[in-house]
Structure 1
Amino acid sequence: MMMMVNMCDDHHPLYRLNEYYKYKDLEGIFHQSVALDQINDDRFGGFLDLFYKAGCQKIFAKASANALITYGVQIKNINFDTTSKVMWGSYETAEGILGSIQIDFGHSKDKRQDKKQIKYGIGCANGIVVDAIVLSGNKDDKTYNTDTLERLNDVLENLQVEKSDFYYIADSALFSEKNLDMAADRSIKLITRMPDNVLLAKDAIDEVVTHLDGLDTITIKDYKGQSYDYKVLEKTCDYKGHALKIATYYSTKYKTQKEKTIRKKVSKELDALDKLSKVLSKRAFACEEDSNLEIEKLKLKDLKNFKYHKIDFTIESKLKRRRGRPSLDPKADLVGYEYFLKLNSSQDEAFIHYEIQRECCFVLCSNDLVINGEEILKEYKTQDSVEKKFKQLKSPQFVNSIYLESPERIEAFSYLMLICMLLLSTAEYVVRRGLCADQDQVVGPGQVKMKKPTQRAIYDMFYSVRVRVIKHPNKPWERSYANNLDESLIKILNYLDIPLETFIKGSS
């Protein structure tokens, strides 16, 4: 608990904890007597060893289930995704230790391919971290989804989720024949993005761009409450023996960004054409037939991936003169003709516009043929909740080599961090749910009125609590609030079913 309190209060490093707690009311916080000299790094390092041996993931799963039951949180779907965390330093896994994560090189989502890493797989429901697993650094996302599908029945049973109403939601790493097979065998409904390089997706996007004006429009709100319009085309198709509902969407939300990206590619392609043109202008061919052969070779190889320009060639012939001193008769110096290629290019604006339109499209799919395109998009958009949680995993103070010198301790510490995320995200959900039901608001840091306070804002509001402690040598210390609890804090404590006297209770 002491490590978790320090972890949540992320303005402080996760070492020298005795210094952090030196001026804290330990008995008031933890409701039991704690001596400052009991707090040391060796003790916490030993705790991590015991926590690892006890089964970190099982403990997280139990805590998650208890949180949902305690606050009556109903789950309809879980959004799954992974992220990586760069590890600074040299770590070795002792031989013969089974089950320990590997700190290894892998696809880095921090774009640090030169560093070893660990990965986290997280499942979020209603913005709450309800499932989590610490992964080896070289675990790929497709394998993570396969492994998660294998254990999903146990996850749903632990969280008391009815499978018939449940959707497993993940990004395009979920889309594979193997994962579709597993979902079908286990009667699990999926919602995922179909990768753009799948032929079905390519054809669906082409169809949407071609028939854009005739498509239905739906309006979806993001997590900030802002509305966006989408054109949508729904159809049922077969992918490797699996019937799928696919919905293709067109949105202008990121059109400016997509156009900028395409224009950069056009400019880069033009630069490459200019360089090629200069090379060709200096290269002579012995005959027109050789020139035509070179053109065919260029089209099949060098120009194969050039698509934003219309390209053609003209063959120019020039008289070839013999080398050496000129003759008195100029005609005597002529020895025939030599041929040069001239590359002509112009931007294919129609194709560029078409590609920009294609980039504004994406394809989602589900093995549930009843769900419609609007519902698929609404459910998939909740994937943002996972990505927001990843920001908490990027803070450098979460891993400290003083007592995290082994993969086992890092894994144990990571699960402590994930339990913190579970607690904070549960508090955020419960407080927001209560404020919504009461049509109320709280006043957060900076006197900002909030109807949907973030977990960071909720946590920071408790900095205003001041406790008066009167020490007695031979009887329990007296504790009282130095000032009345803020009205917003009282609302939060009531929503979370935390007694108002919790900070002045002491160990009694």
Structure 2
Amino acid sequence: MKIASIIDNQLAAPHGNRKGLSYGQLAVLLLTYIVSEADHRICCLETWVSEHQRSLKAITEWEIREKEATDDRCGDLLRIIGLTEALPQMEMSLSQHLVKAYELPTSQARSDTTSFSVYHQISEDVEEESLIKFGYSKDKRPDLRQYRQMLATLDPLGMPLLGATLAGNGGDESEYLPTWRKMREILGHREFLYLADSKASTWSNRAKIQGEGGIYCFPLAMTQPRPKLLADWVKNPPTEVIKIVEKADAELRGSLGDYPHQADEGESEDLEIGKGFEVPLGNIWVEPETEKRYQWEERWLVLKSNALASRQIKGLESRLAKGEEALLSLQKRPGKDEKRLEQKIQEIVKSYRLTKYVEYSIDRNISYKKVYKGRGSRSEDSSYRRVRQINLILNYQRLSTEIESFKTVAGWRLYVTNATSERLSLTEAVQAYKQQWQPEMGFHRFKKGRLSALPIYFRDEKKIKGLMFLLTIALRVFTLMEFVVRRQLHQSQSSLARLYSGNPKRTTKRPTAEKMLRAFNNITLYIHRDDSIEISGLNLVQQKILRLMNVEESIYTTDYFASG
């Protein structure tokens, strides 16, 4: 991957009093630790290097001294990476090299953002310039400050092309056009299909990508009047509706990264996964600042996913059942305070998102109760007074018309593209968006997986940016491992077994990097008292993984370590 040389070409050498590894070599050492130990704490690197010093020297052929990987040196590395203006150039060089070295397909790419919640307290004098701010939290922690991370990936393997650490309070809309421009520079052409979420579908983004010769496909944000437009089109399609089918061949679905249907042996029927139609429309947009006029043709794709429709309908039925159960409990004990009852109803309706699907009313039943004066037995002549009592009655019912309208448009989405039908058919558009999990998989690894950045231990935001840069490189390692192995398995029509704990016979054609790394946990280098060495032998699974990765088994032999 040429990580060390690319970093060293962009970063100045450490100051004259610091001897030993270069910044690029230290970055490789830290990355090796992160990938091997699933831990980004730089304070632990020194001990790990000391324990594996002989192995690391043999592998790298570097002179790795005792204090080479202290947390001070690693902290300086992260800060300099986060501080340098050459960070985008390093990202670009890494991606361009990998695309060429591994002959990666460059016809389709996508980008997305997420937020990382932290517990940092920011002083008022630096808050304005800080990356760590309050903003819309995708972690559902609005009480915490956060920073955002953008990730652009290359289909079909999901390899990161570039990443960027952004302020926590910004909007994503303005990030997609600059990201596309950088991806165009990395890939060296603009014919790739650019995919992103609905926040990318602003008029300005679409107009400028079109104006600069790009190809895009975005889901449209469902702001008014688009929901009504979608409902009208679904009820009365203006063009022919076609079925969208997926080949039942499991290997084809595997290459797309999705397994919606498990085909039995010998099954050859195609699976209908949805339907759709398209509406050609012309667009005009005028840039407010320059009054430049953009005019172009688009295709509005109206697509239904059967799986999504089923999930949405089941979700509504579940919310209705739970909401009505809560309302029934409230109906049995409405209390005496009408305002308090109204508040509780609103909380239930809002919690289960039933505002459009349930209506309710509160009736007051007024009665007068006799309250006798004094104590003792009562007679007809006993004096009493009447006390006015108000009993609250809660009534509620489903809004059948709204529920049926929801079911009619369930699973339907509006997409917009400037690609021709030859470049992107309706079926290909559905398949493309079924792979939207690719950036999300990277975010999962950054948050809860083996490459987790959380919790963040740094206060220095430059170090945070440096760490996220290195984690993005580590994610490249994982995705390249998976791509190379899966490609080899597909070409050889074989699979891998013994990767799943407790189920050694289970096989897979799509092994994850995590499982392949875990398969090498039991290899040990023995150093005897006479300084001779011995390495535990490789089992069949380890040997097969190395062959699939085009890595020589000799790296696990004593001859290799002796020569190193």
SS of residue paired to 1:376: helix
- Corresponding residue of 1:61: 92
Distance in 1 of aligned mates of 2:514 and 2:103:
23
Query: What is the DSSP-based 3-state SS (H/G/I as helix, E as strand, rest coil) of the residue aligned with 1:38?
Result: coil
Change (3 A) 1:92 1:343: closer
Structure 2 counterpart of 1:398, from 433, 453, 456:
453
Confirm or deny that 1:183 pairs with 2:209: yes
- Select 2:44's aligned residue among 16, 19, 24: 16
Which whole-Å CA distance do the structure 1 matches of 2:493 and 2:115 have between them? 39
- SS in structure 1 at match of 2:306: coil
Whether the 8 Å CA contact 1:29–1:503 is kept in 2: the answer is no
Contact 1:79 1:124 in 2 (8 A): yes
**Residue 45 (structure 1) aligned to one of 70, 75, 81:** 75
Aligned-CA RMSD value: 3.9
Equivalent residue, structure 1, for 2:221: 195
Identity %: 18
Q: Given that residues 359 and 396 in structure 2 are in contact (C-alpha distance below 8 angstroms), is that contact kept between their aligned partners in structure 1? A: yes
Residue 123 of structure 1, aligned match among 148, 152, 168: 152
Aligned counterpart for 1:460 among listed residues 511, 518, 536 = 518
Matches of 2:40 and 2:310, distance apart in 1: 42
Deviation at 1:400, TM superposition (A): 6.4
Q: Deviations over 1:432-455 (max 9, x none)?
A: 111111112223433342211111
Cα pair distance change 1:78/1:460, threshold 3 Å: same
1:223 correspondence with 2:257: yes
Kindly report which structure 2 residues correspond to 1:271-310, keeping only aligned pairs within 5 A, or say none: 307-308=356-357
Q: How far off is 1:94 after superposition?
A: 8.5
Tell me what 1:361 maps to.
412
2:208 counterpart SS class: helix
User: 2:38 touches 2:452 (CA, 8 Å); kept in 1?
Assistant: no
Q: 2:278 aligns with which of 234, 253, 264?
A: 234
Determine helix, strand or coil for the equivalent of 1:237: strand
Note the C-alpha offset of 1:112. 0.9
| Contact 1:78/1:124 (<8 A) preserved | yes
CA distance in 2, matches of 1:350, 1:418: 49
Residues 1:78 and 2:132 aligned together: no
Query: What pairs with 1:417-436 in structure 2 (closer than 5 Å)?
Result: 417-436=471-490
Aligned residue in 1 for 2:305: 251
Cross-structure match for 1:290: none
Q: 2:160–2:475: 8 Å Cα contact kept in structure 1?
A: yes
Deviations 1:15-52 (A, max 9, x none): 32223344323324433342344332112112223333
Unaligned runs of 5+ in 2: 1-27, 247-252, 262-271, 286-295, 339-353, 367-392
Deviation for aligned residue 1:250 = 2.4
Contact 2:45–2:70 (CA under 8 A) maintained in structure 1: yes
Of 190, 193, 205, 1:163 maps to 190
1:307-318 matched pairs, under 5 angstroms: 307-308=356-357
Taking the aligned partners of 1:210 and 1:343, their CA distance within structure 2 comes to 39
CA distance in 2, matches of 1:236, 1:230: 20
Alignment deviations for residues 428-487 of structure 1 (CA, whole Å, 9 cap, x no partner)? 111111111111222343334221111111221222333344576xxxx7655321x334
Q: 1:441 is matched with which residue? A: 495
Aligned mates of 2:474, 2:105 — CA distance in 1: 20
Give me the whole-angstrom Cα distance separating, in 1, the residues matched to 2:81 and 2:396: 66
SS of aligned partner of 2:521 = helix
State the TM-score, normalized to the length of structure 2.
0.69
User: Which residue does the alignment assign to 1:287?
Assistant: none
SS at match of 2:273: strand
Supply the distance in 2 between the matched residues of 1:386 and 1:131 (Cα, whole angstroms): 11
| Secondary structure of the structure 1 residue equivalent to 2:555 | coil
C-alpha contact 2:198 2:221 (8 A) present in aligned 1: yes
Task: Note closer, same or farther for the CA distance 1:44–1:59 as it changes in structure 2 (3 Å cut).
Answer: same
Do the aligned partners of residues 91 and 20 (structure 1) sit closer, same or farther apart at CA in structure 2, a change above 3 Å counting? farther
Please state how far the C-alpha of 1:82 moved relative to its aligned partner: 0.5
Match of 1:498 in 2: 551
The change in CA–CA distance for 1:180 and 1:464 in structure 2 (over 3 A counts) is same
> What are the Cα deviations for residues 223-264 of structure 1, in whole angstroms up to 9, with x where unaligned?
333246102122212344542212222233244542354343
Equivalent residues of 1:231, 1:249 under 8 A apart = yes
Instruction: Report the Cα distance in structure 2 between the residues aligned to 1:434 and 1:173, rounded to whole angstroms.
Output: 37
Letter in 2 for 1:196: M
Higher relative contact order (CA 8 A, sep 6+): 1
SS at match of 1:105: coil
Please report how far the alpha carbon of residue 312 of structure 1 lies from its aligned counterpart in structure 2 after TM superposition: 11
Count residues in correspondence: 448
Closer, same or farther: CA 191–397 of 1 in aligned 2, 3 Å? closer
User: Structure 1 pair 353/18, CA: closer, same or farther in 2 (3 Å)?
Assistant: same
Paired letter, 1:449: T
- Name the amino acid aligned to 1:2: L
d(CA) in 2 for partners of 1:7, 1:308: 49
Alignment CA distance shift 1:39-1:358 (3 Å): same
Aligned counterpart, 2:6: none
Amino acid at match of 1:451: K
Compared with structure 1, are the counterparts of its residues 443 and 479 closer, same or farther at alpha carbon in structure 2 (3 Å cutoff)? Answer: farther
Is contact 2:481-2:549 (8 Å) kept? yes
Change in 2 beyond 3 A, CA 1:367/1:112: same
1:109–1:130 distance in 2 versus 1, CA, 3 Å: same
Partner AA of 2:461 in structure 1: P
Q: Which moved more, 1:405-414 or 1:39-48?
A: 39-48
CA drift of 1:181 comes to: 1.4
Name 2:470's counterpart in structure 1. Answer: 416
Cα distance change on mapping 1:16 and 1:306 into 2, 3 Å: closer
Contact 1:7-1:398 within 8 A present in 2 as well: no
- Look up the match of 2:11: none
1:181 partner letter: A
Q: State yes or no: 1:172 paired with 2:225.
A: no
**Counterpart position of 1:327:** none
SS in 2 for 1:122: strand
8 A Cα contact 1:194 1:201, kept in partner: no
Match of 1:291 in 2: none
* 1:451 aligned residue: 509
Report SS of the residue matched to 2:440: helix
| Alpha-carbon separation, structure 2, partners of 1:488 and 1:420 | 23
Cross-structure match for 1:325: none
2:520 counterpart SS class: helix
1:343, distance to aligned residue in structure 2 (A): 11
- The answer as to 2:412 corresponding to 1:385 is no
Q: Does structure 2 retain, via aligned residues, the 8 Å contact 1:424–1:455? A: yes
Q: 1:171 to 1:494 in 2, by over 3 A?
A: same
